[in-house]
Structure 1
Amino acid sequence: MTTAVQLFHSLPPIASLPTATVPAAKSSAGARNQPASLHVVCASRKGRDDDYHATLKALNSKGRFPRKSLGQHYMLNPEINEQLARAANVEEGDVVLEIGPGTGSLTNVLINSGATVLAIEKDPHMVDLVRERFETTDKFKVLQEDFVKCHIRSHISPILENRKALNVSLIRAKEETAVRLVELSLRTSEYRPINIFVNFYSEPEYNFRVPRTNFFPQPNVDAAVVTFRLKQAPDYPSVASTKSFFSMVHSAFNGKRKMLRRSLQHICPSNEIERALGDAGLPTTSRPEELTLDDFVKLYNMIAKV
């Protein structure tokens, strides 16, 4: 059986851990005159190094070992956490919703950047760990809950006060997944409804790759960081009903190999689908993987007129 100590000794020296380069954050004069923002990031004692020594020590203090069932992979490189905070443009007075704080390595960077952090953690042992770590600051609160089942609004509203609503979301995911979310690869099997959804509500940006050697335990693939600059409601594409729009999109992709005049015929007859495609400036033989977000919006609006 592999022990935590054996894994610890198999790790490379911290100096050899790869880092990623992040483009300089864009700024404009008077930008901080705007109300503070709420950020979401998925993934103190100031000056503490959150390298693999500190990570192993923190886990050992609770007798913990990363649980595969929870997808736990802890960041070993503190420079990556700094880059994450810069990618989200976290600044003094911001509020950050952190999903899965782990040992608190990223949390520490966020708090030191001047942000208030509300963390959601499912593992009760890690909840105890980060609660103890940040017990001396009033800029941190952790909830022991499953994020997908958590009623977050009731927890975040008192913290937000007069701040703006959520405007930036940042995730760290498998690099392959990150690329799929950002790149609109038309006419490929990677093009899916999630691409339409993401671009409908946000402006996604691939930030940087995070080599797998920066995690403990080391996963089988590299990760990447993606930010989503969320649009305000007036900037959403114009559709009569977002619910029926996305219902149409999902129906289209359910028959991905089929022409739209066949996969959407439960909405209206094929000849009317063909007419709507033509009115939208699209070939009557179009398939879902050939349409951009704007194309789907045009098609939906034409069908709505039928």
Structure 2
Amino acid sequence: AAKKSLGQNFLIDKNLVNKLVDASGVGTGDLVLEVGPGTGTLTGVLLEHGCDVVASELDDGLARLVSERFSDRSRLTLIHGDCLSSKRVLSPEIAGALGDRPFRLVANLPYQAATPLMLVLLTGHPNCRGMAVTIQKEVADRLMAGPGSKVYGTISVIAQCTARVRRVANLPNECFWPRPKVTSSMVTLERLDEPLTDDAARLGAFCQRVFAGRRKQLAGLLRSHGLTPDPWPENIAPSARIESLAPGVIETLAKRCLGV
């Protein structure tokens, strides 16, 4: 059974499972990370497509179920445990199973894992070449938000500086069991060949500091963190707010503040 504490809602519409795999673009021989396989519906489709799947399942009963269901599939590596060893680090078991190969995240993500996992992969794992995920609509909104939006923040800047983000569809809650109280979205992220940042981890750490004071004037906000851009970017007014700046402008600001 799904556990509310783990944020589990199983995607039960097989057409949407197929749509998610199609949107991911994965095929024979591709390496896929799946987090929260649940009963294994998506896992089965990925294996049918000839993918090598590294799946991470935290729930004891579901891990056993998936292990038994696919016991004859050599392409599946099932890891019983959390996908992250902390909010900022992929678990060593998963990192070891993925090795140095390029991979894609294809998953119906447990709700509370979505933002931390996506941030970790975007900032610390350039071998993650793309993602196709179902997530809460509000998380998808944050990924795609622009300057001035109330939900524009760290994940918006990181996602847009490192990837091309696309909403494939919004999904009604009857596509899931148990029915969640919120709407979900299917989203793809494709790594940019030329990202807007050369150090996404540094940019992410900078954003998490400054977005905590999103309504403050920039000059005072930076000063409160002991930061001074050198030189001050000509296209940014000292009275501007961080929430009004485009992702690429925030990257420039971060570099100048950190002396990179």
Cα contact 1:251–1:263 (8 A) shared by 2: no
d(CA) in 1 for partners of 2:238, 2:50:
55
Contact 1:200 1:236 in 2 (8 A): yes
Structure 1 residues 146 and 201, CA gap change in structure 2 (3 angstroms): same
Closer, same or farther: CA 216–191 of 1 in aligned 2, 3 Å: same
RMSD: 2.8
Residue number in structure 2 paired with 1:154:
96
Calculate the TM-score normalised by the size of structure 1: 0.68
Which SS does the other structure have where 2:99 is aligned? helix
In structure 1, the residue corresponding to 2:17 is in which secondary structure?
Answer: helix
Map 1:39-118 onto structure 2 (within 5 A): 65-118=1-54
> Greater shift after overlay, 260-269 or 92-101?
260-269
User: Deviating runs (4+, > 2 A) in structure 1?
Assistant: 235-239, 241-252, 266-269, 272-275, 297-306
Give the Å deviation of 1:137. 2.0
Provide the rounded CA distance (Å) in 2 between the counterparts of 1:130 and 1:282.
Answer: 52
Distance 1:111 1:245, change over 3 A: closer
8 Å CA contact 1:203–1:228 kept in 2: the answer is yes
Q: Does 1:254 align with 2:212?
A: yes
**Distance in 2, Cα, partners of 1:145 & 1:92:** 27
1:20 paired residue number: none
How far the C-alpha of 1:217 sits from its partner, in A, is 0.8
Which runs of structure 2 are paired with 1:193-232 in the superposition (5 Å)? 193-231=154-192
Would the alpha carbon gap of residues 77 and 265 (structure 1) be closer, same or farther in structure 2, given more than 3 Å must change?
same
| Cα deviation 1:191-226 (Å, max 9, x = unaligned) | 112211112222221111111001111111121111
- Alpha-carbon shift at residue 247 of structure 1 (Å): 4.0
Query: Which amino acid in 1 is paired with 2:75?
Result: K
| C-alpha distance in 2 between matches for 1:268 and 1:144 | 43
**Secondary structure of 1:276's aligned partner:** coil
CA distance in 2: counterparts of 1:238 and 1:216, whole angstroms: 39
| Distance change (3 Å), C-alpha of 1:178 and 1:260 | same
Answering whether residue 130 of structure 2 is matched by residue 176 of structure 1, we say no
Give the C-alpha shift of residue 136 in structure 1: 2.0
Are the aligned partners of 1:265 and 1:273 in contact in 2 as well (CA < 8 Å)? Answer: no
* Aligned-partner residue type, residue 174 of structure 1: Q
**Which sections of structure 2, spanning at least 5 residues, go unmatched?**
86-90, 104-125
| Equivalent AA in structure 2 for residue 110 of structure 1 | L
Query: What residue identity is the alignment partner of 1:156?
Result: L
CA distance in 1, matches of 2:45, 2:11: 13
Contact 2:154 2:211 in 1 (8 A): yes
Residues 133 and 186 in structure 2, CA contact (< 8 A), matched pair in contact too: yes
Task: Tell me the CA shift for residue 305 of structure 1.
Answer: 6.4
Partner residue of 1:237 out of 196, 214, 228: 196
Structure 1 residues 134, 201: closer, same or farther in 2, change over 3 A? same
Secondary structure at the aligned position of 2:214 is classed as: coil
Matched-pair contact (CA < 8 Å) for 1:274–1:284: no
Residues 115-158 of structure 1 deviation map (CA, whole Å, 9 limit, x = unaligned):
12111101111111111111222221211111112212212228
Aligned residues: 233
Q: For residues 267 and 242 of structure 1, do their structure 2 counterparts lie closer, same or farther at Cα, with a shift above 3 Å needed?
A: farther
User: Offset of 1:161 from its aligned partner?
Assistant: 9.4
- Residues in 1 aligned to 2:63 and 2:138: alpha-carbon distance in whole angstroms: 30
SS at match of 1:285: coil
| TM-score (norm. length: structure 2) | 0.79
Hey, which of these two has a bigger chunk of strand by percent? 2
In the alignment, the residues of structure 2 paired with residue 67 and residue 296 of structure 1 have an alpha-carbon distance, to the nearest angstrom, of 39
Question: Equivalents in 2 of 1:148, 1:131: separation in Å?
Answer: 20
Q: CA deviation at 1:242?
A: 5.2
Residue type of the partner of 1:287? R
Partner of 2:254: 300
Residue by residue, what CA displacement relative to the aligned partner does 1:260-302 show, whole Å, maximum 9, x if unpaired? 0110014568xx669714x2x1223211111001211233344
CA distance in 2, matches of 1:230, 1:237: 11
> 1:125-164 to 2 correspondence within 5 Å?
125-149=61-85, 150-151=91-92, 152-157=94-99, 160=101
Separation in 1, partners of 2:206, 2:102: 37
